Amino acid sequence: MGKSRAKRCYGFSLVEVLVASAILGVLVILLSSATGSLLNTLRNAHSKIDQYSAARAGFEQILSTLSQATLNTYWDYDNPANPNNYVRKSDLHLLIAPSTMGHAVFFQAPLSRNGNTTSSGLLNAVGFWVDFGSDSQWKPGHVPEQFRFRLMQGIQPADSLQVFTTTDGSWTNAVKTIPDVGFPIASNVLALILWPRLPVVQDPEGNDLSANFAYNSRQGSAIQKAQLPPSVQVTMIVMDEASASRLASGSAAPTAITSAFTNRFQDVTRFESDLEAVRAALTAAKVNHLVLSSSVTLREAKWSQTP
C-alpha cells in the first residue's frame, strides 16, 4: 500500500472574513434604506389618498346632485295683459356666478327633504361654493379651531323655499346661511369652477352658452332664459392638509393661495391656460394639490336654441 496522504482542511483567512462582513454590512444598509424609502412612499401615498378621499366624495356629490337640477320650464304669453307671443318661463332658478374662489352654483332639485323628514318628490334649493373661514360652528369643543378653505353645501328644506318669492338671485343668501342650512362637506378645497356647455361637437370653443362661465336662467342672456344647460363641466382644485397647515396664518386666507387665483377663470377661452397657471403657482409655493374634473349631464335639460 502507498503512503497515506494527510488531508488538508482549507478555511477563510481573517482578512477574507472581515471583507465579507463589510460587504454584507453594506448590503444590509442599502436594503434597509431601500425598504425605508419604499415604506415612506407607501405611507405618503396612503396619506394623500386618505386626505383627498373627502374631496373626491364631495366632488361626486356635486355631480350627482347637479344632475338632478330642474326648472320645470313652461311656455306662456310674454305679457298676459298685452300678449304678442309665447316665451319660456319658469318659477325656479339656476344660477352659476363668480364666488370667492372660482364659482358657485345654486339650483332646485327633488331631494325630498322637508325639515327633519323626507317626503318623495319635494323640491329643495341647493348650493355649492368654496369659502375660507373657521370651523368653530361645527367642531367639537375640545378640538382646536382651524381656518381652512372648504367646499360648502347648502340644502334649503322644501317648507322654507324662497325661490318663489323673489325675482332675482337673492334667495341664494338663505341657502348659504351657516350653520342652519350651509355646511362643509370637504376641507382644503381651493376652488370650484363650473362651465355650462353645449356638446363639444356643437360648440368646440364652449362659449355659446356663456363667455365668462356665468349662467342665470332668470336674468341671463336670451339663450339662457328659463332653461338648463345641457351639461356643466365641473372642476375642483384641492390641496393636502400638510400644505394647509404649513400655510396657515390665523384667520387670514394664505396669500400664496389667493394670489394664484386672482383674475383667473373669468373667460372660458382661457380655461386651460388659467388652470395651467394656477397649478404652476401652487407648485412654486410647494403646495401639493389635486385637480378633479368631469362633465355632468343635466337630465332635465330640454335645451332649445330658440329664445
Task: Name the phi and psi angles at 155, rounded to 5.
Answer: -130, 110
Closest CA to 296 of 69, 96, 8, 20: 69
Share of the chain above pLDDT 70, in %: 88
Q: Quick one: which H or E segment has residue 107?
A: strand 103-109
| Grid-cell match 339656476, residue found | 94
CA pair distance 255, 262, nearest whole angstrom = 10
- Which of 70-79, 126-135, 167-176, 272-281 is least confident? 70-79
Are the C-beta atoms of 194 and 127 separated by less than 8 Å?
A: no
pLDDT of residue 46: 47
CA separation, residue 10 to residues 4, 7, 14, 210, 252 (Å): 19, 10, 13, 88, 77
- Which of 70-84, 161-175, 224-238, 264-278 is least confident? 70-84
pLDDT of residue 113: 85
Q: Of 116 and 283, which is predicted with more confidence? A: 283
Domain residue spans in the chain?
A: 42-297
pLDDT of residue 42: 45
**Is the pLDDT score of 259 beyond 90?**
yes
Instruction: Report whether the peptide linkage leading into residue 179 is cis, meaning its omega lies within 30 degrees of zero.
Output: yes
Q: What is the pTM of this model?
A: 0.82
Mean pLDDT of 186-210: 94
- Which of 15-19, 55-59, 71-75, 274-278 is least confident? 15-19
CA pair distance 55, 148, nearest whole angstrom = 13
Indicate the average pLDDT of the chain: 87
